[in-house]
Amino acid sequence: MTQTRILSRDQFTTGLAQPRIMDDLDQLEAQSIFILREAYRKLKPLSLLWSLGKDSNVMVWLARKAFMGHVPFPVMHVDTEKKFPEMYAFRDEYTKKWNLDLLLGYCPPVEEIDPSLPPAARSAARKTAGLAAMIDKHKFRGVIAGIRRDEQATRAKERVFSPRGAGHRWDVRNQPPEFWDQYATPYEDGMHIRVHPLLAWREIDIWRYIEREGIPLVDLYFAKDGKRYRSLGDQDITNPIESNASTVAEVIAELETSRTSERAGRAMDHESEDVFERLRVAGYL
Amino acid sequence: MGDNIVTESFSETHRAAATPIVIVGHVDHGKSTLIGRLLYDTDSLQDGKLAQIVESSRKRGLAVEWSFLLDSLQIERDQGVTVDSTRIPFRLGSREFVIVDAPGHRQFLRNMITGAADAEAAVLVVDAKEGAQEQTRRHAMLLRLIGIRHVIVLLNKSDILGFDEAQIVKVESDVRQLLGRLEIEVEAVVPASARDGDNIASRSERSLWYKGPTLVEALANVPPPASRAALPFRMPVQDVYRFDGIRYVAGRIERGTVRAGDRLSIGAQGQVATVAEVCRWHAPELPVAGAGESIALRLEPDLVPDRGDLLFPADDQAAAPERSARIRTRLFWLRGEPLRVGESFTLRLATAEHDVTVASIDAVVDLEDLTLREGDSVPPDGFAEITLAASHAVLFDPFSPGFGDGRGVLVDRYQRIVGGAPLIGPAELADGEHAIHPTASRVSAARQVQTRGHKSGVFWLTGLPGSGKSTVARAAELALSEQAINATVLDGDTLRAGLCSDLGFSPEDRHENIRRAAHVAKILAESGQVVIVALVSPLQADRAQARQIVGENFHEVFVDTPLETCEKRDPKGLYAAARAGKIPEFTGISAPYEAPVSPELRLPADRPEQEAINTLTAFILRIVQP
């Protein structure tokens, strides 16, 4: 095929192939790919937290976009052993289908967790301890996590590249500046960077992207007998919502009119005003 | 073929991305209140959120406080200031916005930049009664430097002035003049009360004289981002991969368009390749990609560019980027210590990294009136124009508001981002000036600590001749070596025997002697070495200059031996000679010695010498041990 190769204003009207106009999902996708590629280049060893929920599936998908169908680093599932059976089946199926290098981590029993935390938060903090053990064991310098700003006010304060110091603590008052797509890199031993490629996405963006790309999900997100899960945590601290949305399109339609927050079904968020921040400073996602 | 693909009915499903709006202004001028009010007036609150505000307000025994909506962190409420930027979506008709709340508290400038850098437009909140304050000017300056194109001014709390036209017009004219000096185009100046809702979403009954837009109308008028598609192509290489036997050159297109068949120049070396394929995974196959897309290219021949190499159209001089090893740049400075000439950094420019040195500080912004003044340092949170010298030619496009070009960021040896540098253009070299392009070490400070087992530092011993500086320094050097710490001693006589053998003892020569010693100490410390300098260095001003040259690694140690003791010891017979008039300008006898006012360590003379050695060794160990 012969083409004129130098771009000029006139040629815009002469039938040369034009780039697509990027819509909001295209822009989010391009930015997330950029972030994932930065992480892969700058942070070694690197791994991606795969919680088996909708957001982390989107994240695995975006990694495949960034790396031409491959995920060139391990994905990590930190198992509380209290997930829904459907989630374990999903994990095993897609580890194979997507050719993932899966690392499994386990969480200490709840008795070993800070007893001053309210019960549901204490249960959730098990995951933090399990994650910390995995990071130490594999000496990860980068951990990719699927949190979003719109989920929870404390997460709205996050950086795309969020440094974690000794003991994996998040120093929320002393975060580095982050602008013009220039991200923090590790500056001392023992620290790692949490990478958040989905920070700018909203819940509805995730669902519209799942619809557009045909990304598979655990069935629990879809209504059965008038109830479905909007957010998936451990079985004992996650509650389903009233809903008849049984397809991705119906979930999107439901969200477009919904005015309650996504984590309404997560018990620990409601126990006290500052509990979520306490969890996050200690390393919770 | 390709033409058919791109004419798909895309416009019907097209959804524009949300427009980011940053809200800035002086502390207590009402930013958080404004955001709470905007969300309420535009019906953008989630059900749970309003209940949260009511509950939080009730717990504190207050009426509904709009600002609580944002103060979601416990620590913020304890301090009464917003700590970091937050993003909140809201909708006006069919258009979506994201509000970025930026704190007004001065020490949190870096958080404000983090929030504001991506914004398309800014609302600058100014208290109508107080007018522009220090942070108003600072934030306005920053809006210009980070490249915000559209600024709406909200004169908040106008109710305090009773919405009086004459008073408000006066404040408006002051603010317009201020922003005019920064070449910022003001979209609207809206007299308003965020607390009561006047001229926010609905027109106020209290300002019937005002014919301009409400805040919401002004926001709706913000035009969509300018298209970058028609500009010459730029893609900084982000990485190069090899998957399934194919080499991919990955990156995000900063501007322009690329098509299969295009001939591209690669970086500064002048290699040229043709685009064999525009590659994506799980996406419509298109032989073309435009600005903003993260793609991968297959090149023919199959070259391996480096990360940071800029790809741009070959064979078209007009479409090529600037190329210079000296660059003039604006600067917003984020480090806690001032910036000085001669400091070295990594300049990050998109994915490229260049070693640069600050060749000159050309002007510093006076934050009282935003004028440019001469200056030899840039204070923390300050603004300036400087010249950077790189170790090799840098390809770049000058900074332009609303575009990704020329967004330089300075990073120090600790990998900290210490400044933003919107590049202005190549720097001209003054006649007769030699262009020097110093290089900086690629070894990070952390790596040095790792290989050496200790940190570096410069310990500057000052005191009268014969006070025991060299003796204590040499003994400490030995004691440190027993702890596996490498130290170098630079003492006066040793320097004067070689490096400074051309110098005498006039004030000018002493000054030069100290300047040279400080530079040598700096070079050694930057390579990870512990340096003990033993120099009379009698003048406060000379030691201050040494501190300036060395930087934050400088530690002043006063060997505080009184004149009588020194003269009594007189190990080299110098005092006797000076008293006899044989040595002119001898410190303590015929030349002044200015004792340090607040040295970091004082070694008193009334103790045995071994104690001074132990004290100095312990002091150094405390600082250099990791």
As a whole number of angstroms, the distance between CA B343 and CA B360 comes to 10
Neighbouring CB atoms inside 10 A of B376's CB total 11
Q: Which residue has the tokens 């020097």?
A: B436
Please indicate, yes or no, if residue A152 is contained in any of the structural domains. Answer: yes
Q: Give the residue from B308, B336, B360 showing the smallest Cα distance to B418.
A: B336
Q: What pLDDT sits at residue B24?
A: 87
Spatial contact of A195 and A145, defined as CB atoms under 8 Å apart: yes
Q: What pLDDT sits at residue B8?
A: 33
pLDDT at B395 over 70: yes
Written as six digits, the tokens of B203 are 């027109």
Q: Which CATH architecture has domain B446-624?
A: 3-Layer(aba) Sandwich (3.40)
pLDDT at B4 over 70: no
Q: What pLDDT sits at residue A11?
A: 44
Please indicate, yes or no, if residue A208 is contained in any of the structural domains. Answer: no
Lowest mean pLDDT among A153-157, B565-569, B570-574: A153-157
Q: B481 by DSSP, 3-state: which?
A: helix
Spatial contact of A129 and A80, defined as CB atoms under 8 Å apart: no
Query: By residue range, what is the domain housing residue A76?
Result: 24-202+272-281
pLDDT (mean) for B78-88:
48
Written as six digits, the tokens of A252 are 């999107």
Nearest CB partner across the interface for B281, out of A64, A159, A175: A64
Q: Are residues A112 and A226 in the same domain?
A: no
Please indicate, yes or no, if residue A37 is contained in any of the structural domains. Answer: yes
Written as six digits, the tokens of B186 are 């003001």
pLDDT at B430 over 70: no
Q: What pLDDT sits at residue A100?
A: 97
Q: Give the residue from B359, B347, B366 showing the smallest Cα distance to B419.
A: B347
As a whole number of angstroms, the distance between CA B341 and CA B376 comes to 7
Is B301 labelled a binding residue? no
Q: Are residues A104 and A137 in the same domain?
A: yes
- Angstrom CA distances, A113 to A122, A238, B113, B137, stand at 6, 19, 38, 49
Q: How many domains does chain A have?
A: 2
Is B115 labelled a binding residue? no
In the A/B pair of chains, how many CB contacts fall below 8 A?
Answer: 211
As a whole number of angstroms, the distance between CA B248 and CA B275 comes to 11
Q: Are residues A160 and A250 in the same domain?
A: no
Q: What is the pLDDT of residues B6-64, one digit of tens each?
A: 333 333 346 777 888 988 888 788 887 888 788 778 776 655 566 666 666 666 665 55
Residues B81-105: b if buried by 16+ CB within 10 A, e if exposed:
bbbbbbbbbbebeeebbbbbbbbbb
Nearest CB partner across the interface for B281, out of A15, A16, A65: A65
Q: B224 by DSSP, 3-state: which?
A: coil
Q: What pLDDT sits at residue B83?
A: 40
Q: Are residues A72 and A113 in the same domain?
A: yes
pLDDT at B338 over 90: yes
Interface residue of A4, A16, A27, A68 to substitute, partner B, most B CBs within 10 Å = A68
Q: Give the residue from B105, B446, B83 showing the smallest Cα distance to A171.
A: B83
Is B466 labelled a binding residue? yes
> Nearest chain A Cα to B286, which residue?
A19
* Domain B19-220: CATH superfamily, name plus number: P-loop containing nucleotide triphosphate hydrolases (3.40.50.300)
pLDDT at B145 over 60: yes
The CA distance from A136 to the nearest CA of chain B, in Å, is 19
Q: Are residues A221 and A172 in the same domain?
A: no
Interface residue of B8, B56, B72, B262 to substitute, partner A, most A CBs within 10 Å = B72
Q: What is the pLDDT of residues A62-88, one digit of tens each?
A: 999 999 999 999 999 998 888 888 999
Higher pLDDT pick, B131 / B432: B131
Q: Are residues A37 and A124 in the same domain?
A: yes
pLDDT (mean) for B244-270:
94
Same fold? B235-319, B323-440: yes
> Nearest chain B Cα to A256, which residue?
B46
As a whole number of angstroms, the distance between CA B457 and CA B480 comes to 13
As a whole number of angstroms, the distance between CA A166 and CA B469 comes to 40
Spatial contact of B388 and B349, defined as CB atoms under 8 Å apart: no
Please, which pLDDT band fits residue A7 given cuts at 50, 70 and 90? very low
Give the CATH number, domain containing residue A61.
3.40.50.620
Please indicate, yes or no, if residue A126 is contained in any of the structural domains. Answer: yes
- Angstrom CA distances, A54 to A160, A228, A269, B10, B604, stand at 19, 13, 19, 27, 68
Q: What pLDDT sits at residue B437?
A: 64
Q: What pLDDT sits at residue B52?
A: 66
Instruction: Break chain B into its structural domains and give their ranges.
Output: 19-220, 235-319, 323-440, 446-624
- Residues of chain A above pLDDT 90, percent: 49
Q: Are residues A230 and A115 in the same domain?
A: no
List, in order, residues 6 or more apart from B582 with CB less than 8 Å away: none
- How many helices and strands (H and E) does chain B possess? 16, 28
User: Does B293 contact A22 at a Cβ distance shorter than 8 Å?
Assistant: yes
Is B498 labelled a binding residue? no
Was domain B323-440 assigned CATH 2.40.30.10?
A: yes
Nearest CB partner across the interface for A34, out of B14, B252, B279: B252
Written as six digits, the tokens of B569 are 């010891």
Q: What pLDDT sits at residue B439?
A: 67
pLDDT (mean) for A7-15:
48
Q: Are residues A93 and A125 in the same domain?
A: yes
Mean pLDDT of chain A: 85
As a whole number of angstroms, the distance between CA A108 and CA A115 comes to 14
Q: Are residues A121 and A193 in the same domain?
A: yes
As a whole number of angstroms, the distance between CA B280 and CA B610 comes to 71
Spatial contact of A228 and A245, defined as CB atoms under 8 Å apart: yes
pLDDT at B589 over 50: yes
Nearest CB partner across the interface for B117, out of A22, A28, A180: A180
CB-based burial of residue A166 (10 Å sphere; 0-12 exposed, 13-18 middle, 19+ buried)? exposed
Taking only Cα atoms into account, the Rg of chain B, rounded to an integer number of angstroms, comes to 31
Q: What is the pLDDT of residues B283-297, one digit of tens each?
A: 988 999 999 999 999
Residues A195-227: b if buried by 16+ CB within 10 A, e if exposed:
bbbbbbbbbbbbbbbbeeeebebbebbbbeeee
Strand-pair partners of B294? B252
Higher pLDDT pick, A172 / A230: A230
> Nearest chain B Cα to A188, which residue?
B446
pLDDT at B77 over 70: no
Spatial contact of B385 and B370, defined as CB atoms under 8 Å apart: no
Q: What's at A206, amino acid-wise?
A: I
Q: Are residues A144 and A253 in the same domain?
A: no
Q: What is the pLDDT of residues B105-124, one digit of tens each?
A: 545 677 778 878 888 899 99
Please indicate, yes or no, if residue A89 is contained in any of the structural domains. Answer: yes
User: Does B14 contact A21 at a Cβ distance shorter than 8 Å?
Assistant: yes
| Residues of chain B contacting A185 with CB distance shorter than 8 Å | 415
Please, which pLDDT band fits residue A55 given cuts at 50, 70 and 90? very high
Lowest mean pLDDT among A168-177, B174-183, B270-279: A168-177
Q: A153 by DSSP, 3-state: which?
A: coil
pLDDT at B75 over 80: no
Written as six digits, the tokens of A33 are 């790919």
Lowest mean pLDDT among B144-148, B372-376, B431-435: B431-435
User: Does B73 contact A172 at a Cβ distance shorter than 8 Å?
Assistant: yes
pLDDT at A4 over 70: no
- Residues of chain B above pLDDT 70, percent: 88
The CA distance from A166 to the nearest CA of chain B, in Å, is 14
| Residues of chain A contacting B3 with CB distance shorter than 8 Å | 15, 17
DSSP string, B566-584: HHHH-TTSHHHHHHTT-SS
Q: What pLDDT sits at residue A2?
A: 38
Q: Has B537 been annotated as catalytic?
A: yes
User: Does A17 contact B293 at a Cβ distance shorter than 8 Å?
Assistant: no
Higher pLDDT pick, A66 / A110: A66
As a whole number of angstroms, the distance between CA A81 and CA A88 comes to 9
Please indicate, yes or no, if residue A57 is contained in any of the structural domains. Answer: yes
Q: What is the pLDDT of residues B598-615, one digit of tens each?
A: 899 998 877 778 888 999
As a whole number of angstroms, the distance between CA B275 and CA B309 comes to 15
Higher pLDDT pick, B446 / B473: B473
Q: What pLDDT sits at residue A5?
A: 42
Please, which pLDDT band fits residue B314 given cuts at 50, 70 and 90? very high
DSSP string, B153-221: EEEETGGGGTT-HHHHHHHHHHHHHHHHHTTPPEEEEEE-BTTTTBTTTB--TT-TT--S--HHHHHHT
Mean pLDDT of chain B: 85
Q: Are residues A183 and A235 in the same domain?
A: no
Catalytic hit among B481, B537, B590, B598: B537
Spatial contact of A285 and A145, defined as CB atoms under 8 Å apart: yes
The CA distance from B381 to the nearest CA of chain A, in Å, is 12
Q: How many residues can be counted in chain B? A: 626
Please indicate, yes or no, if residue A238 is contained in any of the structural domains. Answer: yes
Q: What pLDDT sits at residue B575?
A: 86
List, in order, residues 6 or more apart from A272 with CB less than 8 Å away: A118
The CA distance from B282 to the nearest CA of chain A, in Å, is 7
pLDDT at B91 over 90: no
Q: A29 by DSSP, 3-state: which?
A: helix
List, in order, residues 6 or more apart from B368 with CB less than 8 Å away: none
For residue B309, give the DSSP letter. P
As a whole number of angstroms, the distance between CA A15 and CA B331 comes to 43
**B235-319: which CATH topology?**
Elongation Factor Tu (Ef-tu); domain 3 (2.40.30)
The CA distance from A19 to the nearest CA of chain B, in Å, is 5
Q: Are residues A144 and A251 in the same domain?
A: no
By DSSP bridging, strand A241-242 and strand A227-228 are: antiparallel
State the complex-level ipTM. Answer: 0.89
